[in-house]
Amino acid sequence: MEPFNRIKELRDSLNHHNYCYHVLDAPEISDMAYDALFRELETLEASHPEWITSDSPTQRVGAAPLAGFAKITHRLPMLSIVTDTDVAEFHRRVAEGLGLEVDAEIQYAAEPKIDGVAVSLLYQEGRLIRVATRGDGREGEDVTAQARTIASLPLRLLGEGHPQSLEVRGEVFMSLAAFADYNVRALERGEKLLVNPRNGAAGSLRQLDPRMTRQRPLKLYCHGVGEVVADTWPRQHNEMMACFKAWGLPICQEAEVVTGVAGCLSYYRQLEARRDGLAYEIDGVVFKVNELGLRERLGFVARAPRWASACKFPSREAETVVEGIDVQVGRTGALTPVARLVPVVVGGVTVTNATLHNFEEMARKDVRVGDTVRVRRAGDVIPEVVEVVLEQRNSESRPFDVPTRCPVCGGEVRRVEGEIVVRCGGEFSCPAQQREAVKHFASRRAMNIEGLGEKLVELLFAEGLIANVADLYGLRGSLEKLASLERMGEKSAENLLAAIEASRERDLARFLFALGVREVGEATAASLARHFGSIGAIMEASEVELQGAGDVGPVAARRVRAFFSEPRNQSVVGRLLREENTHWHRAATVVRTDHPLAGVTVVLTGTLTTLSRQEAKARLEGLGAKVSGSVSKRTRYLIAGEAPGSKLVQARELGVEVLDEAGLMALVGG
């Protein structure tokens, strides 16, 4: 096939698969197959740059960093929707405005009020021309280069029958899963955390460098129009949304058409009950008259349409007082300030502590002991301090000083250049770090020492029975002492010692992960184990040699080299390696590369009955699969057992194929 025709064919194919993935939530090909098509298109366009167009799938990021944002005047004002908690009153005003009886059965388009950033998308002849923020409603900022990085935003509309000019209104947002995942990674990198999903979306769109925006997992839902130039246009809102979907514009699947006050109230209550199960943050419901002709008759008042109303859910914020600020020390030495609060009920849960994220964030909000603060809790997210109520601040309050010494071991506090997080330099000599290190070492995904939970670890440290991970294997002759501990007993003590002995069977990859080296997760540990084959080779490898293993970048290589160069780490690891009858020196099992699962990313969630989670993981990895702990766009399968939790929601949101346990057994060969 001629290159020009192949380029066109590839673009059409990629646009089709983007539509299936982001709009229909029904992908037709694997990520691997999609990536292969994308790379082929990139290669052809590189050979024929004269054929590159702005709406090619390869051109989502191509702009240089901007010096600033240009101003855009909206063709039609982007008006705000009035918040009205009384649905019956809103319906009454609509009916009166249309000259109808109050009991008239008016249809309304109902949709979640997503907590994101309002944008305007301008398409001409089906091609994306410009994206702008709401701004003050009349004038916004040009964020076209940034918005083009959003995978769900079509650069060219699909299908036929597009208006000559179409201004689409929508909401850019960040899903809860993406927000949490981003903050986990930011914390590991020592970078600034996002405050909440809405601020994360707003800040991402206002990155002057579009490449930075692309690193933020943004999504888009379209929900209305501004100016439209077309020969024909739908008569109802839901018909307009059907056109959007056919053209490749993503719309919210939770939207419905309801009738009258009863329909509105029923939708409101159902969505409020399902609020915590949604993949994104919402703060209410929006009702709009469904008939577009009736909207024209109702018109506008001041800066808002008469035909729409936003009904918010009860607040998930509450005010309370900061009784104190504690500093917690994590496994990697990170010092995290936590506000100790006068107990307050937020979202049906009594909150006594709230994270302040890090000292830079605490200083930005200027949180002080004695302050009255607003606290927010959303879903399963850890409660956080939103802001200080400055009007109620005591004039004698003073800012909280960043510690110069670790509050646990007294070790020097260090701040690495380029990192926001401050850390205790005590490492293996810091009891707090050692407690967290033992908890991680014993965790299910690491050495899986059953029964050695958080409270027991704290008790063993308090009783002086252990001081680091190596001491666990010195408990062999301490049955009587363990049995005398609070809530233990002889049987529990025997089970604990048996579990510690069983952990000697773990392989090199599990052992590496259990050591808790920063930046070394399960995948990186497995890659190191497969590549080097022995713990000795890893300990002696240079940074350059470490990067020779797959999935090991320069940062991870630097962390590994630094960990094994530290004398105190060498001492503890050396003690572990001198333990007899262990398999920690053993190289990871050689995996197959000829199996269909080779290189495929799989995530396990929920309780499995045929195999244990670890057995399933081992079987999958033995066939060449990569078993990840989190769902992402690269995930090919989610194996869902009983009580799967939030990963199932994330998988459905991303269009990941979900298999039950029977599907798992079919994958691994029965």
Q: How many domains is the chain partitioned into structurally?
A: 6
Among the listed residues 8, 113, 455, 481, the single catalytic one is 113
State mean pLDDT over 310-332: 87
* Residue at 400 is within a domain: no
CATH number of the domain enclosing 269: 3.30.470.30
pLDDT digits (tens, 9 = 90+) for 488-511: 889 999 999 999 999 998 989 899
Whether 340 and 325 have beta carbons less than 8 Å apart is answered as: yes
**Do 482 and 561 fall into the same domain?**
no
pLDDT, tens only, 262-284: 999 999 999 988 887 888 888 88
* Same-domain check for residues 306 and 234: yes
Whether pLDDT at 161 is above 90: no
- Examine the domain organization and report whether 269 and 305 are in the same domain: yes
CATH number of the CATH domain containing 7: 1.10.287.610
Q: What is the mean pLDDT of residues 102-113?
A: 92
Do 567 and 435 sit in the same domain of this protein? no
The pLDDT tens digits of the residues spanning 435-487 come to: 999 999 999 889 999 989 888 999 999 999 999 999 999 998 889 899 998 88
pLDDT number for residue 348: 64
* pLDDT tens-place string over residues 333-343: 889 999 999 99
Q: What is the pLDDT of residues 570-613, one digit of tens each?
A: 888 999 988 888 888 765 454 556 678 887 888 888 878 777 77
Residues 128, 253: one domain? yes
Average pLDDT over residues 121-144: 89
Q: How many whole angstroms separate alpha carbon 142 and alpha carbon 264?
A: 36
pLDDT at 130: 92
Please indicate, yes or no, whether residues 139 and 45 belong to a single structural domain of this protein: no
**pLDDT of amino acid 16:** 81
Q: Is the pLDDT of residue 258 over 90?
A: yes
109 bridge partner residues: 257, 288
Q: What is the pLDDT of residues 193-242, one digit of tens each?
A: 777 788 788 888 888 777 788 778 899 999 999 999 998 999 999 999 99
In this predicted structure, the answer to whether residue 546 has a pLDDT above a threshold of 50 is: yes
In this prediction, residue 129 carries a pLDDT of 92
Q: Verify that 50 and 124 share a domain, yes or no.
A: no
Is 55 inside a domain boundary? yes
pLDDT surpasses 60 at 619:
yes
Could you tell me if 51 and 78 lie in one domain?
no
Structure tokens given for 193: 């955390």
Q: For residue 25, what pLDDT band results from cuts at 50, 70 and 90?
A: low
How far apart CA 87 and CA 272 sit, in angstroms, is 15
Report the CATH number that the domain containing residue 485 is assigned in CATH: 1.10.150.20
Which element (helix H / strand E) includes 75? none
Q: Do residues 208 and 258 share a domain? A: yes
- Domain co-membership, 142 together with 255: yes
Q: What is the mean pLDDT of residues 552-576?
A: 88
pLDDT of residue 289: 95
Give 377-391 pLDDT, tens digit per residue. 754 456 889 899 999
Is the separation of the CB atoms in 249 and 305 below 8 Å?
Answer: no
Is residue 422 domain-resident? no
Q: Are 627 and 608 in contact (CB under 8 A)?
A: no
* pLDDT attached to residue 380: 45
Question: Considering the chain, what percentage of its residues have pLDDT values greater than 90?
Answer: 34
Q: Is the pLDDT of residue 614 over 50?
A: yes
User: What's the pLDDT at 379?
Assistant: 47
Distances (CA, A) of 189 to 440, 512, 528: 19, 20, 20
What's the pLDDT band for 367 if we cut at 50, 70, 90? very high
- Spatial distance between the Cα atoms of 607 and 444, rounded to a whole number of angstroms: 13
Is 312 a residue of the active site?
no
Residue 417 counted as domain residue: no
Among 584, 464, 599, residue whose Cα is nearest residue 523: 599
Yes or no: say if 347 and 378 are a contact pair by the CB < 8 Å rule: yes
101 Cβ neighbours under 8 A, 6+ residues apart = 95
Residues 196, 176: one domain?
Answer: yes
Per-residue pLDDT tens over the stretch 70-102:
888 888 888 777 676 688 989 998 999 999 988
The pLDDT of residue 60 is above 80: no
Instruction: Give me the residue label for tokens 């090909």.
Output: 29
* Residues 499, 500, 503, 505, CA torsion sign: negative
Q: Phi/psi of residue 423, each to 5°?
A: -130, 150
CATH of the domain at 364: 2.40.50.140
More confident residue, 221 or 183: 221
What CATH number does the domain containing 645 carry?
3.40.50.10190
Range of the domain at 646: 601-668
**Which of 342, 373, 392 is at the close of a domain?**
392
Sign of CA pseudo-dihedral 274, 279, 284, 286:
negative
Identify the domain boundary among 312, 338, 361.
312
Chain mean pLDDT for the chain: 85
Q: Does residue 413 belong to any structural domain of this protein?
A: no
Q: Is the pLDDT of residue 120 over 90?
A: yes
In a domain, 415, yes or no: no
pLDDT the model gives residue 23: 64
Asked if residue 514 is part of any domain, the answer here is yes
Report whether pLDDT(650) > 50.
yes
**501 and 516 belong to one structural domain:** no
Does any domain span residue 223? Answer: yes
- Give me the pLDDT at residue 131, please: 92
